[in-house]
Structure 1
């Protein structure tokens, strides 16, 4: 039998081996569990404070069944859990901390492969970043989406309808009682947002990149088939250890391109950009914002909120990611998957069962709907916009800026009746990038000013160095780099300045002459840091900009060395 990594912990017939085995045996494991079989770690982000991941305890049991069946030895371990809707100031601040937790846990323990159990927005990329940095055989099982929300006989979607309902209350079109009544009907089961938010986006991309088994993305969290998928994943990870099939074998440049193409086809979250850039940095793939332009002309095929009308449960029943991959198979690049073969195996024989949910490539929901990368003197290192969730007429626009210097300024003034804005105004928010907030929160989809909401305005151009929820919608320009806190041109914008946006031309320009900008730069000072201690201080000191994935500079790359020093 091949000597495994775990043998350095459990295969020694000396004091160290005695200690490692004996302490594990206090859980009732028999001698033969340590006979050299693959030891599989189950990296679990279960938490009651992360409702999206609250079903992962059950899925872990399914994984264990599959590992035992295949002759492996499953051991579950916890890592930090990031509840997007629950954490302050933002879960994104802690994505890199989760990645560190995952990386060091995998490296420090005597396991041969790992199953990553995640779901909520930042858990999937954080776990993958950590696992990729150690490069042991790894595979993902997502928690799955909630069942469709229901209110007054209608389907409602988490996140997307929250924004709509909130604006309707502000406009006097929905009562507060109805608003509160929708609250319980929106979240009817365990699982992630049932819209194509960041959680389902990342699950879809992971499947399209071949890092999870087919159908992983869309099976509802409470569907028995997800438990069966967990079982099959447990079985497969043992085989992957036998084959020495690692993340570096799967996460190639071609796999990243396939993920970008799939993201466009499903109308996925803008957050995918910053997560894929960070993951690429861990595996040494040269991925830049320019690579996302490959999907600019990919049509929107999935009619799901926030870019359409259906929800993830409907997407599952219509055929899920395998059906989408079949529609774009002529665009996909050959790439190995966790099954060992090419990504083509994920869509061979796939069918579409509802053409109103998954459209044909030549009859899309929207043409050329992939994310657009914008550059110009306001975003020298890039910014992004999501046309599928935007108002077409606003994607080519010039107008005056109204500037909010920070999130507190926005909250204090957005509902002022005398706010000097019109529908043509471009709202600008500063101080919400990786360093500025810190953590780059999902506040880029600023509320429409109350005075305009009452007049029926539901979309305006909004520009910031922040992110937005994958469940959100609107003509929102995000991830402006460099951010304001780092001294990017965004920091120099003043109310009244004119800004020109061209999604088709890929430009974002501040129409102020260079001499005036230099005067402003000379007078500019960064805000004092909000955090001065702990992980958050380390984050601010070392975080990269959005166009580089907002990872910590010292975490880029990987370290596959075996730890040989004993603690006893």
Structure 2
């Protein structure tokens, strides 16, 4: 049985300093009257008094975000906790992005969601925030917004789904989609078997049950100190998720009383702790672009080099797909995230506090591992040193990343000729062409898929392997792109190449046949082309973009202002914080 540490929850009579919501509700003038009268709607008579903290539950529940469908139930549990502690809770639906549903990619709207959330958090009579997220972009967007407005805030991670099974075997959500689809293309399973597995993939409410981006970002939120310690990884159907949500509702009232804000919690050392945690759980490469963006919002100077430095030497202890064997509910029964982090406690900074006001490390004692086939011992890890590696060279002067834990070891040092695809459509049209000049030693290069080039930086970096190679038994190749990769995916995939091709990066100069040299241990990514030849290629008209540049709406704003992956792919005018003040009255 998994237990959680005390969150030192408040009593209902906590003293409060001046509440921000009093700027809406206090007084006897016409504006205060309007603010109060329209919010009554059956609230207790004293609900809008100056002593009652007004708590917004930023809720990403949506039927179009299937992993977050259950968050309305979670919000109800949070509400009960807020009421119990003397606060007044409100459901605040915010932009929700369903990773599997929205086209062309959910990443196109992460910054839009964060911007809309920030503006609503600032514009309303809110003293504290409970951030309900789950699916990949929801927790990052919520944290970016909360950091920029800097009101007391706490995360409730929606939790992973339970494990589904097909033909007696556990299914890793996402990971087995990639695996089974490749086996179907290779002819080792039938198309009927592949399609039948679809009915078994999603067993319950909750997000992906692998250590994909959703699970990784829950771990990140906890390692940053933004959840009740021990919350991350609690399965969505588990009754303890509702209990912890109730506790979170109580805790946010205390946080408001003590004015404990994201800027107090999200220090540079907290981000370094999160990098260690991502390495120890074998987390998603997407955590890099999200952590960089969150750090930019709170004013922390975080760089790609920090991921390499802080993650260096951190052992992978979580035997979870896509790097290992098990799934998230196995991690929970084996002791959970706190049991895993206790084994790397010496690598964590002791200074960053959590939402409780106490340091994270204070919660990392007395959490035994109940199954060391799921959480490996420090003395015998799944992998000795497989944190996210940052590569640089003439192909990626501003950096690229790779996840060694998900790669094939012998491909981490490799030289091979490039096979270049100009776009994801070009790749899909030609990848299975029997006449494609490709071997197992080739390096598949995909461009036009970065933040500006796509636009939105989709999860297409884990390109499918050519069918003719799959039929020969090949199951991995070096793949390089300016795109991202699903956290549930695997393979020797080099991602986030910066600058991207559409921003003039050298990835746009690669030609089919150029030798590409990958040396992960040496942290280099190089094309064997002379500087003189590269200069000459720059004079050649660039390949025509797959799509014309957007001319209106969010996509145009995004393309005009998005930064590169090495700084988090946020919009340049959103970096930093504007705080919570609103200077003008509404009536």
Which TM-score bucket, shorter chain as reference?
Answer: over 0.9
Q: Compute the TM-score of the two structures, normalised by the length of structure 2.
A: 0.96
Q: What is the aligned counterpart of 1:491 among 508, 525, 528?
A: 508
1:477 aligns with 2:501: no
Deviation at 1:529, TM superposition (A): 3.6
Structure 2 distance, partners of 1:233, 1:347, is 19
Partner of residue 309, structure 1:
325
- Per the normalisation by structure 1, the TM-score is 0.99
- In the other structure, the counterpart of 1:207 is 222
Is the Cα–Cα contact under 8 Å of residues 234 and 241 in structure 2 kept in the other structure? yes
Query: Partner residue of 1:542?
Result: 561
Match of 1:285 in 2: 300
Q: Within 1, Cα distance between the matches of 2:367 and 2:224?
A: 17
Superposed counterparts of 1:140-539, under 5 Å: 140-293=155-308, 294-334=310-350, 335-525=352-542, 527=545, 529-539=548-558
Residues 229 and 360, structure 2, Cα contact 8 Å, conserved in 1: no
CA gap of 1:224–1:392, structure 2 versus 1, over 3 A, is same
Return the alpha-carbon distance in structure 2 between the equivalents of residues 416 and 394 of structure 1.
24
Residue 58 (structure 1) aligned with residue 77 (structure 2): no
Residue 89 (structure 1) aligns with: 104
Tell me whether 362-371 or 477-486 shows the greater mean CA deviation: 362-371
> Hey, what's the Cα distance between the residues in 1 that align with 2:405 and 2:373?
16
Give deviations 1:125-169, integer Å, cap 9, x for gaps.
011001100000000001100000211111111110001100110
Distance 1:413 1:538 in 2: 32
- Deviation for aligned residue 1:382: 0.2
- 1:433 Cα shift? 0.2
Does the residue aligned with 1:33 lie in a helix, a strand or coil? coil
Report if the CA contact (8 A) 1:212-1:338 is conserved. yes
- Taking the aligned partners of 1:179 and 1:121, their CA distance within structure 2 comes to 25
RMSD: 0.9
Alignment coverage as a number of residue pairs: 567
Alignment partner for residue 85 of structure 2, among 42, 61, 70?
A: 70
| Number of the residue aligned with 2:47 | 33
Distance (Å, rounded) in 2 between the aligned partners of 1:561 and 1:299: 40
How far does residue 524 in structure 1 lie from its aligned partner after superposition?
3.5
Asked if structure 1 preserves the Cα contact closer than 8 Å seen for 2:150 and 2:580, the reply is: no
1:344 deviation in Å?
A: 1.3
Check conservation: 1:208, 1:321, Cα contact below 8 A. Answer: no
Segments of 4+ in structure 1 off by > 4 A? Answer: none
Gaps of 5+ in 2: 1-15
Deviation at 1:30, TM superposition (A): 2.4
CA displacement, residues 434-477 of structure 1 (integer Å, 9 cap, x when unaligned): 00110000000000001100001000000000000000000000
Question: Distance in 2 between the 1:94 and 1:524 partners?
Answer: 31
Distance in 1 (alpha carbons) for counterparts of 2:270 and 2:313: 19
Query: Per-residue deviation at 1:561?
Result: 4.6
How many angstroms apart in 2 are the aligned matches of 1:244 and 1:185?
A: 46
Q: Which of residues 108, 120, 144 is equivalent to 2:135?
A: 120
Q: Where do 5+ consecutive residues of structure 1 fail to align?
A: none
Deviation string, structure 1 residues 449-507 (Cα, Å, up to 9, x no partner):
01100001000000000000000000000000000000100000000000100000000
Deviates more, 1:530-539 or 1:62-71: 530-539
Cα-to-partner distance string for 1:494-538 (whole Å, 9 max, x where unaligned): 000001000000000011001111111111337364421100100
Q: After the TM superposition, which of the residue ranges 248-257 and 214-223 deviates more from structure 2? A: 214-223
The 3-state SS of whatever aligns with 1:145 is coil
**1:361 offset after TM fit, Å?**
1.2
CA deviations over 1:16-44 (Å, ceiling 9, x no partner): 1110111011x211221112211001000
Match of 2:154 among 136, 139, 156: 139
- 1:396-430 Cα distance to aligned partner (Å, 9 max, x none): 00110000011110010001011100000000000
